[in-house]
């Protein structure tokens, strides 16, 4: 499913359960010590997805440990994102010379818990969601909205290291399966504050993705090959990352 939301050149892998055995690196296993079995299984499957995505880029498998803010620390020269929720785990990765920011999120397609929307959405955003719901009540607009903000943050934070709150991103959803986010970071940064993304709802799930390509570079196989020399020297060393 997630590949439908990604530009060419971004590798992805997904799983809908934890039935396939997933082996963790020692550092990852240590991180999961004492956690409930269900949580360990989700973590392991998500990491297996991440390593398959890396393999799609021709990269060796590595341990993916959380860094600042909880975001996975990808190998040098790679940007990526991991997500997991009930019934779904996925990971995406791309060459850093081609894609500057990458974030995905998965959520169950049910309603948000009571009171959450008021915490994460402005009055204008809530009005826009109400209009969308009035036009098509079969779509879980509030959950898509929440997921879109998660995906935006997961693309933004690893690229900038700057924390954003839910109210620091103004998100507008389109029925066409896209969304636009205008970010208002607490400090000035030399980064375009507008992110574009895509969403998909189906099979009891909501998926969102943000992929910002490097200026002047297409996220396709030719561009990926062009960055191979730049990334080959790199050695192996999210929120539901």
pLDDT in tens, 110-141: 999 999 999 999 999 999 999 999 999 999 99
CATH C-level class of 2-232? alpha beta
Tokens found for residue 143? 């959950």
pLDDT at 128: 98
pLDDT score at 176: 97
Residue spans per domain, the chain:
2-232
For the segment 180-214, what is each residue's pLDDT rounded down to a tens digit?
A: 999 999 888 888 899 999 999 999 999 999 999 99
User: Burial of 193 by CB count in 10 Å (0-12 exposed, 13-18 middle, 19+ buried)?
Assistant: middle
What's the confidence (pLDDT) of residue 69? 82
Please report, in angstroms and rounded to a whole number, the separation of the first and last CA atoms in the chain: 18
Residue the block writes with tokens 């109400």: 130
């Amino acid at each position: 499913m997630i590949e439908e939301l990604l530009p060419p050149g971004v590798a992805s892998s997904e799983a809908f359960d934890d039935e396939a055995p997933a082996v963790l690196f020692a550092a990852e296993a240590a991180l999961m010590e004492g956690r409930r079995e269900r949580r360990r299984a989700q973590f392991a499957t998500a990491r297996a997805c991440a390593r398959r995505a890396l393999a799609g880029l021709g990269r060796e498998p590595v341990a993916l440990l959380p860094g600042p803010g909880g975001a996975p620390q990808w190998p040098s020269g790679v940007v990526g994102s991991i997500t997991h929720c009930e019934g779904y785990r996925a990971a995406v990765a791309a060459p850093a010379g081609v894609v500057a920011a990458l974030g995905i999120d998965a959520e169950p397609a049910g309603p948000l818990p009571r009171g959450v929307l008021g915490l994460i959405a402005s009055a204008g955003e809530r009005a826009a969601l109400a209009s969308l719901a009035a036009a098509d009540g079969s779509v879980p607009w509030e959950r898509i909205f929440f997921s879109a903000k998660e995906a935006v943050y997961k693309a933004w934070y690893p690229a900038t290291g700057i924390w954003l709150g839910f109210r620091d991103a103004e998100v507008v959803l389109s029925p066409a399966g896209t969304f636009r986010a205008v970010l208002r970071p607490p400090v000035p940064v030399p980064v375009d504050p507008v992110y574009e993304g895509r969403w998909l709802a189906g099979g009891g799930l909501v998926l969102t993705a943000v992929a910002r390509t490097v200026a002047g570079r297409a996220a396709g196989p030719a561009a990926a090959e062009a960055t191979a020399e730049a990334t080959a020297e790199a050695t192996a060393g999210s929120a539901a990352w």
